[in-house]
């Protein structure tokens, strides 16, 4: 049998709300096994993402992410979780965990308030709302400020729908089966009542019906809201059934994230020998 160190971290947890944030699995290994093994572990974990990290040098790791259904090109909350694990377990000898990924170099550092993370911005451009997606989102009777098509990072079409107010984001009940059939993952966002902006993220086309607090979504949300509000550092909440909070700073094609990453459990994944 092979025992792999395993952790579950609640990324971007709200310190004032128990059992908040986005659960991410972190699996530490000496080398990547076959993709079928990675996919099987992620499917068995049944979290929105599992991060797999392999050392590649001093304070450097190769990092891959899997949902229960697919490998993805970028995952913020699982990167945040992986950095928190490596920093808290003493694997990092300096101040920062550096990762090489499908989306290039990423990093996580410790901060006075928790952790900070550096990710690339994810580009977007104005799109044209279509009736099928609008109906699937349950937004046919609601005011729409804008809609954007986002670069693909989760293996499916990816959009951001901007609505007028926080209540609309909180109360929306999309038809996830229809979104899966259409093949779209969707961010819904609006100005926040107590923070700069709020959002929710639905990714049924990538095997995740609703992601609790999505780092990669904020790689597009942060520059959009920064331009719209004229602010350089913004407060944000993702307000689905399992909420979370974070702060974001977009600049020079990157986004700096600030948030908390409490550890929920640790142990080992036990795999049978090949």
What is the set of active-site residues? 49
d(CA 266, CA 27): 10
221: nearest Cα among 138, 160, 262:
160
| Cα radius of gyration rounded to whole Å, the chain | 18
Rounded to the nearest 5 degrees, what angle is found at the Cα of 165, between the Cα atoms of 149 and 215?
50
CB 220 within 8 A of CB 124: yes
Neighbours of 135 (CB within 10 A): 13
- Two tokens, residue 274: 């090949």
């Amino acid at each position: 049998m092979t025992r792999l160190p395993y952790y579950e971290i609640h990324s971007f947890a709200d310190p004032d709300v128990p059992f908040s944030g986005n659960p991410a699995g972190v699996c530490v290994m000496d080398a990547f096994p076959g993709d079928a093994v990675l996919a099987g572990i992620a499917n068995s974990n049944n979290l929105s993402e599992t991060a797999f990290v392999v050392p590649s040098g001093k304070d450097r790791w190769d990092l891959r992410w899997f949902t229960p259904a697919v490998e993805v090109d970028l995952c913020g909350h699982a990167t945040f979780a992986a950095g928190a694990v490596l920093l808290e377990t003493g694997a990092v000898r300096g101040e920062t965990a550096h990762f090489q990924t499908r989306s290039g170099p990423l990093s996580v550092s410790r901060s006075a308030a928790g952790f900070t993370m550096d990710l690339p911005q994810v580009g977007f451009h104005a799109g044209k709302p279509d009736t099928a997606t609008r109906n699937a989102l349950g937004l046919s009777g609601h005011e729409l400020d804008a809609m954007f098509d986002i670069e693909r990072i989760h293996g499916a079409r990816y959009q951001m729908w901007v609505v007028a107010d926080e209540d609309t984001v909180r109360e929306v009940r999309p038809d996830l089966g229809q979104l899966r059939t259409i093949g779209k993952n969707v961010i819904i966002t609006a100005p926040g009542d107590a923070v700069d902006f709020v959002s929710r993220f639905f990714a049924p086309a990538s095997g995740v019906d609703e992601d609790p607090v999505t780092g990669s979504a904020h790689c597009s949300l942060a520059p959009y809201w920064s331009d719209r509000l004229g602010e350089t550092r913004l407060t944000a909440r993702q307000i689905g059934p399992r909420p979370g909070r974070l702060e974001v700073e977009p600049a020079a094609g990157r986004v700096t994230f600030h948030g908390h990453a409490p550890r929920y459990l640790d142990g080992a994944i036990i795999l049978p020998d090949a």
